[in-house]
Amino acid sequence: MSTESSLPPRPGPSADDLVALDGMRFTNRFTAELPGDPDSANGVRQVLGAASSPVRPTPVSAPRLLAWSPEVADQLGLSEDVVRSAAFAEVFGGNRLPAGAEPYAACYGGHQFGNWAGQLGDGRAIALGEVLDRHGVHQTLQLKGAGPTPYSRGADGRAVLRSSIREYLCSEAMHHLGIATTRALCLVATGDDVVRDVLYDGHPRPEPGAVVCRVAPSFLRFGTFQLPASRQDRVLLRRLVEFTLRNDFPHLVALGSFEEQVGALLAEVCARSTALVVDWMRVGFVHGVLNTDNLSILGLTLDYGPYGWLENFDPGWTPNTTDAQGRRYRYGNQPEIVHWNLWQLANALVGLVEDPQPLQAALDAYSGCYQEQYHAMMAARLGWGSFAAGDEERLAELFAVLTSAEIDQVLFFRDLARVPVNDVAARPDEELLGPLREIWYEPADAAGAAGEAMVRWLRSWAVRVGVGGLAEDERRQIMDGLNPRFVLRNYLAQEAIDAAEAGDLSLLSELADVLRHPYDEQPGRERFAARRPEWARHRVGCSMLSCSS
């Protein structure tokens, strides 16, 4: 990532910059191939029979580029000079439409915390349209925080800097971790304040506003299909499914009948969703708000709201204040919630088929597929090679150890590869625990019962590594390739936010650069891998967040 503060400004939108931005190859399949809202007024309403509503971003007073992703810019064919130009900030702050753009807000519904919420839609996200990237792949450019839409439900459609930084950093961090995700092209300050009540406790305050440009081949979500199904609008539902098959799953179109394609579509969405949640569990990512409107039909991590990263190992932890009582979206419940959401998608699609059995089969396969992939992932990240008899019990023992004290799970899994495995029976406890000295939030725990339990498990683990038969170098390489040294720890994101709100973008830039290489050691940057400091234990933004902006 780069930040505007690291380079000299280029005043004034030049003609060349405008030409470059106007030269983006808009295709706009979504608005061209699907029915749109005939009402162009930007007022809150129920939108029937349409996949989207035409709406333009609301201009801001002083758009200023704060940060951008060089990889995404290059993918879109935008040079660094163009990105740094005043014209770029005008376009991606929402003040100017590039030639060929057909902006819209998408219409969809969803289940929120298990309850049907009816029409939701893009309440503060406005797509500029679809463009072809340098590889000929369609990408939708979406401005989050660009003003009100017909789906804003009385809100202002804006986003604050803190949440925009979190979305920007995490979407790019997830990509570099190798996890399917929407991307972020840039972060633009608006120059305007936005009033938010961060904890919904009756204390709203003005905060600096910002806009993130999100990029993905599609922003279609489960709720896109649920809404017309709930309204018995099978014409729109079928058109949405046909559009999705044609543009996002073209390899399924040749399968034969439309019914067969629908069954195959759900099966593939199940497979992609399975792989996604396995990756979340691997790195300790907690989405925080897994409503059906936040699940991508492409299996991408979508909508970075009150997410968090598991630091000490706690399967019951949720980062979302709204979820604090029921903990529906806690870390350990994510696989089951994704399955539940897939059921709701199937319930939406079932009206298009006469035989529901293929849909049922896809849903029934989920649990077995998840367990198989999860076991394979855990066996690999623990250096065992493949999952074998007895490993289920070894995992249960490990999780019991990790919850017996406050243990940093990121450091544990990364540093486990450094624990010696040869002649383990003859090694003293201290030698086995040595590489794990930084994992303990209370160092005294290493000398107590938790430390003793850890040693017993390490000895069993080492024996199992030997049975796996991997060469030492290969084993460590595999483990280090699955267990990141660096993740977007909650307190690091908050530190970057605090500095940016004070006008200093240097930490934002350095943190984003660290996160571009999460599996490398990066000497000199060890502080970005350190466990959570005590000051961050209960601080808002470091422990719990709300859905506010």
The three-state (H, E, C) secondary structure of 343-385, written as one string? HHHHHHHHHHCCCCHHHHHHHHHHHHHHHHHHHHHHHHHCCCC
* 3-class SS of residue 137: coil
Q: Is 208 helix (H, G, I), strand (E, B) or coil?
A: strand
Quote the crossing angle between the two packed helices 357-381 and 391-402, to the nearest 10°: 70
What's the CA gap between 433 and 395, in Å, rounded?
19
C-beta neighbour count of 172 within 10 angstroms: 23
Phi and psi at residue 492, in whole multiples of 5°? -65, -40
List the beta bridge partners of residue 132: 138
Does residue 364 carry a catalytic annotation? no
Do residues 102 and 28 lie in contact, with contact meaning Cβ atoms separated by under 8 Å?
yes
Strands 52-54 and 109-112: unpaired
CB 415 within 8 A of CB 432: no
Candidate list 37, 122, 293, 303, residue with the active-site label: 293
Please, what sign has the CA dihedral across residues 298, 301, 306, 309?
Answer: positive
The helix or strand, by DSSP H or E, that contains position 508, with its residue range, turns out to be helix 506-515
| Catalytic residue set | 293
